[in-house]
A and B are shown apart, each in its own frame.
Chain A
Amino acid sequence: MLPEIGHFALILSLFFALALSFVPILGYIKKHKVLMAYSTPLTHVTSLLVLFSFIILSYSFAVDDFSVLYVSQHSNSLLPFVFKLSAVWGGHEGSLLLWVLILCGWSSAVAYKGKTLPEDIRALVLATLGIVTTGFLAFLLFTSSPFVRLLPDMPAEGADLNPLLQDVGLIIHPPMLYMGYVGFSVAFAFAIAALISGNLNSSWARWARPWTSVSWAFLTLGIGLGSWWAYYELGWGGWWFWDPVENASFMPWLAGTALIHSLAVTEKRGVFKSWTVLLAIFTFSLSLLGTFLVRSGVLTSVHAFAADPTRGVFILVLLFLFVGGSLLLYAMRAADVKSDVSFGITGREAGLLINNIVLVTLTLTVLLGTLFPLLFDALDMGKVSVGAPYFNSVFSPIALVLMLVMAIGPLLKWNRTKLDILIKQLIFPCILACVLTGITLIWQKFEWITLVSLFVAYWVLLLTLIDWASKLGNVGSSWWQRAKKLPRNYYGMLIAHLGMAVSLIGILFVSVQSQEEMVRMAPNDSVTLSGYEFVFNGVSQVQGPNYVADRANISIFKDGQQVASLAPEKRVYQARTQMMTEASIDAGLFRDLYLSLGEQLEGDTWGLRVHVKPFVRWIWLGGILMMIGGFLSAMDKRYRKVAGATI
């Protein structure tokens, strides 16, 4: 009975969402205040109904109700309880429900925080979000209901959750990722509202800014978690694979980064108005495109959900309506926008323009690489696959340009910068960065491109810190007092930029200095890699809650001292008799020791993959810094004080 109630709640929510898509817009056209005011309660009711059905689905998982097809496909009575709950989004249907739930969450947050918005804008924003919600609820109900029952022949046992997904990283990775890219719908809705109302002054940018920063922070966290998960769970020791699905989340991130910067210019200086609107549409379109690519089966990927052409057609139609519709609206409305402020070529505006051009180029680079196999096939030119070599050789140099702009950009002043002062500011950190690069060179040999990148990373670090120090250096109250007075927005930028530099350092060291070896090991054999001696102590059988495993035991010594003891496993999950490699990692700030167990070769001899990965943690540490930066800048006091603020 309960699953039917859940299903019914979902159907009901579709009707409320449908009402939300029409009533406020009707109110806007008729200038009818009551109709417009309906937007808030309609949003909340839709959200509550979706939340209710999500809770029911979670409950069905918790009590092992295998009469529900989706539960029986993705759970098992032996599955640990937390994984039963995370299995709710372990497949296409449930993760789509989570997608819609998060969209509703964002809509309700806008409805709640947006009390101070002008009522016509609030009505239009909520209605736009309502249209998106309606589309996805219809998609969910018509093609992928999670509440389909298997009656009367219900299975006694479920097929179990894919073992790859039975992991802590995967419990929180999808929700964070969705929080991010669904969150861009808010900026999108503000942009659409601005286009419809024709009121494209800078106020929409101010309203959209904190929402964009928060979404971006969540997306950063989501991507970081995904990369971390791939690193320890897939057992290859890689942290980024340029897989189409990774790209699908990375493109909105790049475009979102551009959006954050262009919103800042539009808000503060009133320039790039039309461009910022386009970018807001573009960013959310990429989120939708990602959803399409993952769920339609047009691309091959380890992450892709089971392909179903009907779903593909449905979501393509949605994509066409949302993206095509908003781009058409843009084409018709944006011509009226006039930028009334001009800016100088040495000003911060110009710097941010370059930032935007570079970021959009990067996004298009990834987009092209991801879609190239599709385009190629569509033109009947055969099958190609675009892999890491393309991305590394095309993406990296452009990304380096971005880092350079990032180093100099924050020092520029609005409108125009005095070049002699700028050069003075740049020169000392430049020399220091050269020295630091030189010091690193003594320790390790690098190719020139790595060397240049490393120099740029150091330079960014130094410039960012020196800029902060110079803001504290004035006479007067103590530096701590002044440090507290600097706006959170500024700290957000500072920390996010530091994060980029930290990640870059991590990426450079990992890609250049990683050591890896595949060895045959019998008990008491040892192998030495990067100064670490790995001693193999043999393999034992272990019984887990829903798997059995062969667990190897390896002691690691450095200079005769034991530094770690690791236990990589090879697991067989019973429900699906699926084999999984469970890597074992000794993590450290400056290096990770990473072991994954291979095949049993003969007797007690095993294959073992040994990695030493210097600075790999820095990649995610940088990600965490960027995330903190994003949240901090959204919490800036300005957004609360100014009339019409949203947070």
Chain B
Amino acid sequence: MSEGKNSKMKKVALFLPFLVFALLAGVFFSQLGKDTQYMPSALIGKTLPDFSLVSLETNEVMNKKDLGEQGFLINFWGTWCPACSFEHDYLMKLASEGIDIVGIDYKDETTAAIKWLDEKGDPYSVVLLDELGNFGIDMGVTGAPETFVVNAEGIVTYRHQGIVNEQVWQEMKGYLK
């Protein structure tokens, strides 16, 4: 009797490797096609860190309190960044729809930035200069373009690495409120 039970146990145990593997295969399947580059920011759910950056237009130092009361986007860009010029057209469209976009000219030269905005148009309500990339470090950006959503309460609700386009915007706009 007990021997029969033992051999039954043994038979069940032999299926264990298969079951573990089947479970793993399920996990793999669920992970396929996900963007592995995607990294959520540690800032999500926290208030925007304070800063003092020089404005490109007025040459004055600005702080967090100088930014809009309503929700806005913070867009890191640079003239050195080829992807930013692709993104630029879409930002122009968003700006024309009345979206408040704060531009952070990231690790860039001011003269080149002025020329860029003259030629391509300026989608930003204000452009702040982050020549050394210190604000970029505070925000934890890994490159440009990178866009953060700050809601009306001043809380960072979303971060997107890479180009903002129609698809990304549909996902992103809900976080502005």
Q: Which A residues fall within an 8 A CB radius of B?
A: 278, 281-282, 285, 292, 296-300, 307, 309, 312-313, 316, 319-320, 323-324, 327-328, 330-332, 334-335, 371, 374-375, 377-378, 382-383
Q: Which 3 A-B pairs have the closest CB atoms?
A: A309-B33, A327-B18, A312-B32
Does B96 make an interface contact (CB < 8 A)?
no
Residue of B nearest to A285 (CB): B21
B residues less than 8 Å from A282 (CB atoms): 17
Does B58 make an interface contact (CB < 8 A)?
no
Interface of B, secondary structure class, is helix
Distance in Å from the Cβ of A297 to the closest Cβ of chain B? 6
A residues less than 8 Å from B4 (CB atoms): none
Which of B14, B25, B39 lies in contact with A331, CB distance below 8 A?
Answer: B14
Distance in Å from the Cβ of A312 to the closest Cβ of chain B? 4
Distance in Å from the Cβ of A338 to the closest Cβ of chain B? 11
Measured CA separation A339–B10 after assembly (Å): 14
- The answer to whether residues A296 and B37 also contact, given A324-B18, A324-B21, A330-B17 and a CB cut-off of 8 A, is no
Q: Hey, what's the 0/1 contact readout for B93-125 against A, CB within 8 Å counting as 1? A: 000000000000000000000000000000000
Does B168 make an interface contact (CB < 8 A)?
no
B residues less than 8 Å from A332 (CB atoms): 14
Q: Can you list 9 contacts pairing A with B, beta carbon distance less than 8 Å?
A: A281-B17, A297-B36, A309-B32, A313-B32, A319-B28, A320-B25, A327-B17, A327-B21, A331-B17
Which of B28, B36, B37, B38 lies in contact with A316, CB distance below 8 A?
Answer: B28
Q: Hey, what's the 0/1 contact readout for B1-26 against A, CB within 8 Å counting as 1? A: 00000010011001101100110110
B14 A371 Cβ-Cβ under 8 A: no
Distance in Å from the Cβ of B142 to the closest Cβ of chain A? 12
Residue of B nearest to A326 (CB): B18
B36 A378 Cβ-Cβ under 8 A: no
- The answer to whether residues A312 and B33 also contact, given A371-B24, A378-B27 and a CB cut-off of 8 A, is yes
Measured CA separation A547–B31 after assembly (Å): 39
B10 A324 Cβ-Cβ under 8 A: no
B residues less than 8 Å from A309 (CB atoms): 32-33
Distance in Å from the Cβ of A407 to the closest Cβ of chain B? 31
B22 A324 Cβ-Cβ under 8 A: yes
Residue of A nearest to B37 (CB): A300
Of the listed residues B21, B28, B29, B39, the one surrounded by the most CB atoms of chain A closer than 10 A to its CB is B28
Of the listed residues B31, B33, B38, the one surrounded by the most CB atoms of chain A closer than 10 A to its CB is B31
Residue of A nearest to B39 (CB): A383
Residue of B nearest to A323 (CB): B21
B34 A298 Cβ-Cβ under 8 A: yes
Residue of B nearest to A299 (CB): B36
A374 B28 Cβ-Cβ under 8 A: yes
A383 B25 Cβ-Cβ under 8 A: no
A292 B28 Cβ-Cβ under 8 A: yes
Which of B21, B31, B40 lies in contact with A378, CB distance below 8 A?
Answer: B31
Measured CA separation A327–B18 after assembly (Å): 5
B29 A316 Cβ-Cβ under 8 A: yes
A316 B32 Cβ-Cβ under 8 A: yes
Does B30 make an interface contact (CB < 8 A)?
yes
Measured CA separation A374–B24 after assembly (Å): 10
A335 B32 Cβ-Cβ under 8 A: no
Measured CA separation A332–B15 after assembly (Å): 8
A382 B40 Cβ-Cβ under 8 A: yes
Measured CA separation A382–B41 after assembly (Å): 11
Measured CA separation A299–B27 after assembly (Å): 13
Residue of A nearest to B31 (CB): A298
Measured CA separation A332–B38 after assembly (Å): 42
A374 B31 Cβ-Cβ under 8 A: yes
Of the listed residues A282, A319, A327, A330, the one surrounded by the most CB atoms of chain B closer than 10 A to its CB is A327
Measured CA separation A377–B33 after assembly (Å): 13
A residues less than 8 Å from B21 (CB atoms): 285, 323-324, 327
- The answer to whether residues A316 and B25 also contact, given A334-B14, A382-B40, A383-B40 and a CB cut-off of 8 A, is yes
- The answer to whether residues A298 and B32 also contact, given A285-B21, A316-B25, A319-B25 and a CB cut-off of 8 A, is yes
B residues less than 8 Å from A328 (CB atoms): 18
Of the listed residues B10, B11, B36, the one surrounded by the most CB atoms of chain A closer than 10 A to its CB is B36
Measured CA separation A297–B36 after assembly (Å): 7
A residues less than 8 Å from B15 (CB atoms): 331
Of the listed residues B14, B27, B39, B40, the one surrounded by the most CB atoms of chain A closer than 10 A to its CB is B14
Measured CA separation A316–B7 after assembly (Å): 33
A374 B18 Cβ-Cβ under 8 A: no
Measured CA separation A62–B36 after assembly (Å): 35
Residue of A nearest to B26 (CB): A378
A residues less than 8 Å from B37 (CB atoms): 300
B10 A335 Cβ-Cβ under 8 A: yes
Residue of A nearest to B12 (CB): A331
A377 B31 Cβ-Cβ under 8 A: yes
Measured CA separation A327–B75 after assembly (Å): 52
Measured CA separation A319–B26 after assembly (Å): 12
Distance in Å from the Cβ of A123 to the closest Cβ of chain B? 26
A residues less than 8 Å from B34 (CB atoms): 298, 377
Distance in Å from the Cβ of A376 to the closest Cβ of chain B? 10
B residues less than 8 Å from A377 (CB atoms): 31, 34
Residue of B nearest to A296 (CB): B32
Given contacts A298-B32, A313-B32, 19 further A-B contacts (CB under 8 A): A297-B33, A298-B28, A300-B36, A307-B36, A309-B32, A316-B25, A316-B28, A319-B28, A324-B22, A327-B21, A328-B18, A331-B14, A332-B14, A334-B14, A335-B11, A374-B28, A378-B30, A383-B39, A383-B40
B residues less than 8 Å from A307 (CB atoms): 36
Measured CA separation A7–B40 after assembly (Å): 43
A residues less than 8 Å from B25 (CB atoms): 316, 319-320, 324
B27 A374 Cβ-Cβ under 8 A: yes
Measured CA separation A313–B31 after assembly (Å): 10
Distance in Å from the Cβ of A91 to the closest Cβ of chain B? 19
A residues less than 8 Å from B38 (CB atoms): 383
Measured CA separation A307–B25 after assembly (Å): 18
Distance in Å from the Cβ of A127 to the closest Cβ of chain B? 22
Residue of A nearest to B7 (CB): A335
